[in-house]
Structure 1
Amino acid sequence: MRNKLIASMAILLASSTAALADASDGKVKIGILNDQSGVYADFGGKSSVEAAKMAVEDYGGKVLGVPVEIVDADHQNKADIASNIARQWFDTDQVDAIMELTTSSVALAVQAIAKEKKKIDIVTGAATTELTGKQCSPYGFHWAYDTHALAVGTGGALVKQGGDSWFFLTADYAFGYSLEQQTSDFVKSSGGNVVGSVRHPLATTDFSSFLLQAQSSGAKVIGLANAGADTQNAIKQAAEFGITQGGQRLAALLFTLAEVHGLGLEAAQGLTLTEGFYWNRDEESQKFGKRFFERTGKMPNMVHTGTYSAVMQYLKAIDKAGTDETEAVAKLLHEMPVDDVFAKGGSVGPNGRMFHDMYLLEVKKPGDSTEPWDYFNVLATIPGKEAYIDPAKSGCELVK
């Protein structure tokens, strides 16, 4: 009897030890690295951290029997600061994966480090297609949207409506260049032309000289290849110059629910934009939106909900793999379908791009909004296979 008891205890101990070995360090640690104090603080920021925590709680707080921990940091939109944080997280703080990564220059830098360290990164906040193109990684994933999807949605819609000549106001870093290039290519392929562009520094407060150049160009559409507070400020100052009253249209190429709320319906009404999520689209998204609002005081955009989805899918992959070892989890992230509040029938390509539907939206007039945060009319659904670049044409070396 005593021998049987000892044998049983040994089996339990071995099982416990095996479980801990399968989840390295006895826990799973996810880092949310983004802008929490600058121009993209509303776009992602602390609300993305809350979305990640919601996902962990909804998953039960544990995976493989060990606790899941969320840590976060503000990269201040600086690639060097983000790189230092990422290295510390991976090398000394036992972080298993880094997510969100608003700002394309930051996302590219951190993805390179994650590739070097053989760690997973899932980008929900940055837009450049380079993440799944020439700078792709076997451990890197791009989740919520990208510049190609924005160009197909907003750019395509405006060209069809007669906006066949464009001038771009572009944020002077990787994201802005990518968004301008992708939209320009789509405008030209649709029969339009680009008459010029001007680049502005990140976090610009005075857009007057840039807007005057755009106004004098005579372009039918002024494409705002920027985001966050930069887009809000550009739209506000464009109104002061009477640009839209003069017949030119503004195309907010990366504009989400958060920025519409910050700008207000009076100023934003009539804008066409593309998002990967809208809280008031169906019953499931409404329920998620209201839960999110209870925690944050705001409704979620595609970055917030995309972060929730990314964390959930990562935990599902760990569970299915029976380990948090990077190669095993990355393999399953490429193979598993994505089906949650953010994406229905989503799939991940060999370059790490997650394919899911995008939505072409129009900002409502103030009188048409029936409740707080009811800001959009859904004009069209853009299937994921149309919104995103075919992996075979992405330039990613992983695609055979």
Structure 2
Amino acid sequence: MTKSITKSGSISRRRLLTTVSAGAALAASPFRINLLQAQEANIKIGFPVPLTGPYGAEAQDQVRAAQLAIAEFNDAGALNGRKAELVVRDDKLNPGEAATRTLELVEKEKVNFVVGSLSAAVQLAINNVTKERGVIFNSISQSDAINEAADFSKYTFHEALNPHMTAGAVGRYAFSKFGKKVAFLTADYAYGHEMVRGFLEVGKTFGIENLGDIRHPLGTTDFSTLLPRIQALKPDILCISNFGRDQQIALKQATDFGVKKTTQIIAPLLSHASRVAAGPQAFEGVIGGCSFYWGLEEKFASTKAFNEAFRKMYDGKLPTDYGALGYGGVRTVLAAVKNAGSVDTDKVIAALEALKYDFYKGPQYYRKCDHQSVQSVLVIQSKSKDLRNESDVFQIISTDEPNEANLRSCEELGHKA
């Protein structure tokens, strides 16, 4: 029997047919179809925020502005035609719920990135899920802990201010002008605790006297037993470190109790949504901080462009402080995707670390050791007269320009040099 000999470099008819058949089977297989679908799928950004609860108004602002960032990215051609979409979930201002919803976004919705949160504790729960699964998370809520080595990972970015920056800016302004005797009314969770720590830290420079820290649970509706205790301390300054509905109620009742007659009230953060909801009387004369105010359009072309785009999309309304964070958090991730030319996680991380940007409030960049956005902090005062429009509720009275000296050092946060 004669053997069939195949020359080196050639292929037998049987092998050719086998290879062709296998290739045809692969082309028609569900795996191949799923691969093609994955390549063509939208770029998904998961967006967990507390749509229900005391911070609901601010969360709605975050969603609206985030949708603008998505629309601008898509209108500019997206990533070679591959569009982005926002997948919103309600975390109900609850760490357990946030972890569940984030897990759903990552494992069920297959999001490429996560942006969101509006609570110091909630964002840590989100961060725990995303870092374990190797998904980039850009937080848009204040926290000191998220930048610390114990919670940080290479996937963690922080577009928002942190309490050390915010309380530092407000404290430097207030403690130099209104006196040294300081009392605190504090929401009894991470946000409040970190803000007080920031005030006390900057207060060392000015020699302030801490008269006491009176704490209240999240969701308090009656401060009538706490305010007389504060008045009895006779402070020059009262730091009210709470947020959202708690802040509205506390300031209304402080006004009714006549606290402002003898004491300057400051807050680390003044929310546009809270000021509008509570009205001018409750916030009259109160000084606080924020990361964004639409009036920056007089200083920055980027703010003017952001305001105009938001007005166009939302029937003439202007963006708020937390709305701007929703915009910035999403836009920076999409800018990095564009710069990287990919949604590959490591490539996008490198692009975010290299990003020098001015998208809505002046220059910013992410510090490499902890991925904190280095940016300006605005010190603002509530106003009630000579309003240019319905959103003209604050006056910028001071600005801390972007400066790493106003952040805790990388070494303080536990990061190795």
TM-score (ref. length: structure 2): 0.85
The alpha-carbon deviation at position 356 of structure 1 amounts to 0.9
The alpha-carbon deviation at position 23 of structure 1 amounts to 7.4
1:165 and 1:193 in contact (8 A); partners too: yes
1:363 and 1:375 in contact (8 A); partners too: yes
- Distance in 1 between residues matched to 2:133 and 2:105, nearest whole Å: 11
Q: Is 2:239 aligned against 1:223? A: yes
1:56 and 1:311 in contact (8 A); partners too: yes
Structure 1 segment 308-387 matched on structure 2, within 5 A: 308-364=327-383, 366-385=384-403
The alpha-carbon deviation at position 267 of structure 1 amounts to 2.6
CA spacing shift, 1:286–1:270, aligned 2, 3 Å: farther
| Residue 26 of structure 1: aligned partner | 41
- Distance in 2 between residues matched to 1:87 and 1:25, nearest whole Å: 23
The alpha-carbon deviation at position 334 of structure 1 amounts to 1.3
Report Cα offsets for 1:290-321 as digits up to 9, x if no partner. Answer: 54345457532232112212211111211222
Question: Aligned partner of 2:225: which letter?
Answer: S
Q: Is 2:224 aligned against 1:205? A: no
| Residue 302 of structure 1: aligned partner | 321
Structure whose CA Rg is larger:
2
| Residue 288 of structure 2: aligned partner | 273
- Distance in 2 between residues matched to 1:118 and 1:386, nearest whole Å: 28
- Distance in 2 between residues matched to 1:85 and 1:343, nearest whole Å: 33
1:168 and 1:224 in contact (8 A); partners too: yes
CA spacing shift, 1:293–1:35, aligned 2, 3 Å: farther
Q: Is 2:63 aligned against 1:52? A: no
Structure 1 segment 1-400 matched on structure 2, within 5 A: 26-43=41-58, 45-60=59-74, 62-124=78-140, 126-134=141-149, 135-245=151-261, 247-283=262-298, 284=301, 285-293=303-311, 295-296=313-314, 298-364=317-383, 366-385=384-403, 388-397=406-415, 399-400=416-417
- Distance in 2 between residues matched to 1:186 and 1:222, nearest whole Å: 15
The alpha-carbon deviation at position 118 of structure 1 amounts to 0.6
The alpha-carbon deviation at position 373 of structure 1 amounts to 1.3
RMSD, aligned α-carbons: 2.2
Report Cα offsets for 1:89-135 as digits up to 9, x if no partner. Answer: 111210121112111110011111111111011111x2121111232
The alpha-carbon deviation at position 26 of structure 1 amounts to 2.5
Question: Aligned partner of 2:156: which letter?
Answer: G
1:77 and 1:103 in contact (8 A); partners too: yes
Report Cα offsets for 1:353-400 as digits up to 9, x if no partner. Answer: 010111111222x22323221122222221221674144244143x42
1:114 and 1:120 in contact (8 A); partners too: yes
Question: Aligned partner of 2:402: which letter?
Answer: G
Question: Aligned partner of 1:67: which letter?
Answer: K
What is the DSSP-based 3-state SS (H/G/I as helix, E as strand, rest coil) of the residue aligned with 1:76?
Answer: coil
CA spacing shift, 1:100–1:150, aligned 2, 3 Å: same
- Distance in 1 between residues matched to 2:202 and 2:36, nearest whole Å: 49
The alpha-carbon deviation at position 206 of structure 1 amounts to 0.7
CA spacing shift, 1:121–1:343, aligned 2, 3 Å: farther
- Percent identity reads 25
Report Cα offsets for 1:322-366 as digits up to 9, x if no partner. Answer: 2212122112211211221234243433201010111111222x2
- Distance in 2 between residues matched to 1:122 and 1:209, nearest whole Å: 39
- Distance in 2 between residues matched to 1:86 and 1:381, nearest whole Å: 35
Question: Aligned partner of 2:198: which letter?
Answer: Q
- Distance in 2 between residues matched to 1:160 and 1:23, nearest whole Å: 57
What is the DSSP-based 3-state SS (H/G/I as helix, E as strand, rest coil) of the residue aligned with 1:128?
Answer: coil
| Residue 3 of structure 1: aligned partner | none
For these two proteins, the number of residue pairs brought into alignment is 378
CA spacing shift, 1:262–1:387, aligned 2, 3 Å: farther
Report Cα offsets for 1:216-235 as digits up to 9, x if no partner. Answer: 12221111111111111100
What is the DSSP-based 3-state SS (H/G/I as helix, E as strand, rest coil) of the residue aligned with 1:367?
Answer: coil
2:79 and 2:341 in contact (8 A); partners too: no
Report Cα offsets for 1:255-287 as digits up to 9, x if no partner. Answer: 122222122223312211111111022254245
The alpha-carbon deviation at position 145 of structure 1 amounts to 1.2
99-108 or 186-195, which moves further after superposition? 186-195
What is the DSSP-based 3-state SS (H/G/I as helix, E as strand, rest coil) of the residue aligned with 1:29?
Answer: strand
Question: Aligned partner of 1:29: which letter?
Answer: K
Long gaps (5+) in structure 2: 1-26
381-390 or 152-161, which moves further after superposition? 381-390
What is the DSSP-based 3-state SS (H/G/I as helix, E as strand, rest coil) of the residue aligned with 1:99?
Answer: strand
- Distance in 2 between residues matched to 1:152 and 1:22, nearest whole Å: 49
- Distance in 2 between residues matched to 1:352 and 1:209, nearest whole Å: 42
TM-score (ref. length: structure 1): 0.88
